[in-house]
Structure 1
Amino acid sequence: MEPVHHIDGRAIPFGRKNIDTDVIIPAKWLKTISREGLGRGAFETLRSDPENLFDSPTFKGAPILIAGDNFGCGSSREHAAWALLDLGIKAVIAPSFSDIFSGNAFKNGILTVVVPQETIDRLMEVAQTDPIAIDLEAQTVTTPFQDRFAFEIDPFRKHCLLNGLDEVGLTLARDAAIGAFEGTVAAERPFLARGTA
């Protein structure tokens, strides 16, 4: 997982409420276990409209999505986070998220930023013409117009995102301690180390 420190750039002023995971990535795309190519299916139904924001030259490839309340509700499909990543989205800003989606996003290196609706309204306005910046270390979202919005994040999630640690990375970070424990167990209980051959 890539470390997340700053995410700067255009933000897609989506703003819709109650966007479920079936809208993020329709069920027909769930037949794959690969993460590559899911961006083509991200928001497929909405992108059938030629005027959609996701394919607009202004917002195509934007790293930030501004969404409405209850983003990511519905099923627990991890493919939703994979599709967003493949679309180029590294952060989603919304008033609230489904717990399961928020967990899947975090495990895949997507920063979910919770801010009040008034902040969303302002960011939607700014995003029409200007970039937005997210600083995870400072826990702020800023605009070129001196707007500065603070957000809260779980300290463990912040640590993992800043250091690019997924579940495998967290385990590998404890490699020395695990090795020492395994060595102690092998010395104290050699019968556990015997092969089954």
Structure 2
Amino acid sequence: MSESPLRTGTAVPLRRDDVDTDQLAPARFVPYFRPDGFTNILLADWRSDPDFVLNQPQYQGASVLVAGRDFGTGSSRESAVWALQSAGFRVVVASRFGDIFRGNATTRGLWTVEVGHDVVERLWAEVEADPWVPVTVDLSALRLTCGAVESPVRIDAPLLRRLLEPGDRIAETLTHLAEIEAYEAAEAVR
């Protein structure tokens, strides 16, 4: 079963660089948080500030998060992805992602698409000017559109394939069984 290559929603402009997995899902919550979302722990340490963007009513219900450079760096905390999904996010747009976070996100079906930082800044401005402007990511065309902003997106080919055709990684590996067996047989005679 393949997934639709389009996702559209409103966005939250998270004007921050270097958002790591401990900020996304603080460690004190991790033992109690599960993928089905018992509570929303996303960016909990910043949520006490009433001016923080996720507390603003105009951004409630958004499904796209637009962040800065180096989003999701740090530990391999899967709960960072769970927290984003529990808060309703289906797409994260940033100019750079942590590799482990991006892999975890792909496994869970959270789209992580990269654009140039200049595009991120234009998206922030567009969304702040009109919080209800839709953001559309088209993985088949590798394009993002949002009001006057249109940009190509970057996503590694294996990750793109996994997002468009989600499935079991073991089953995916087994499609190469003949090649694996041939390699193993060649190694056995060495």
Q: Does TM, scored on the shorter chain, surpass 0.5?
A: yes
| Distance in 1 between residues matched to 2:13 and 2:42, nearest whole Å | 16
1:100 aligns with 2:100: yes
| Distance in 1 between residues matched to 2:168 and 2:47, nearest whole Å | 31
CA deviation map 1:29-62 (0-9, x unaligned): 1113621226511111111112222232211221
What is the root-mean-square deviation in Å for CA atoms of aligned residues? 2.4
Q: How far is 1:123 from its partner?
A: 0.5
Letter in 1 for 2:153: F
The percent of aligned pairs where both chains have the same amino acid is: 34
User: Which residue number corresponds to residue 34 of structure 1?
Assistant: 34
Helix, strand or coil at the partner of 1:134? strand
Pairs aligned (count): 175
| Distance in 1 between residues matched to 2:33 and 2:49, nearest whole Å | 28
User: Which residue number corresponds to residue 140 of structure 1?
Assistant: 143
| Distance in 2 between residues matched to 1:111 and 1:98, nearest whole Å | 13
| Distance in 1 between residues matched to 2:146 and 2:54, nearest whole Å | 21
Q: How far is 1:111 from its partner?
A: 1.1
Gaps (5+ residues) in structure 2? Answer: 182-190
| Distance in 2 between residues matched to 1:96 and 1:38, nearest whole Å | 29
Q: 82-91 vs 38-47, which deviates more?
A: 38-47
| Distance in 2 between residues matched to 1:56 and 1:120, nearest whole Å | 20
Gaps (5+ residues) in structure 1? Answer: 182-197
Q: Please give the TM-score of this superposition, normalised by the length of structure 1.
A: 0.80
Q: Please give the TM-score of this superposition, normalised by the length of structure 2.
A: 0.82
Q: Aligned ranges for residues 17-96 of structure 1 at < 5 Å?
A: 17-32=17-32, 34-37=34-37, 40-96=40-96
Helix, strand or coil at the partner of 1:22? helix
CA deviation map 1:6-49 (0-9, x unaligned): 11111100020011111101111111362122651111111111
| Distance in 2 between residues matched to 1:139 and 1:57, nearest whole Å | 31
Conservation of the 8 A alpha-carbon contact between 1:29 and 1:38: no
Q: Which ranges of 4 or more aligned residues in structure 1 deviate by more than 3 Å?
A: 168-171
| Distance in 1 between residues matched to 2:49 and 2:168, nearest whole Å | 36
Q: 150-159 vs 58-67, which deviates more?
A: 150-159
Q: 73-82 vs 150-159, which deviates more?
A: 150-159
Helix, strand or coil at the partner of 1:47? coil
Conservation of the 8 A alpha-carbon contact between 2:34 and 2:79: no
Letter in 2 for 1:158: L
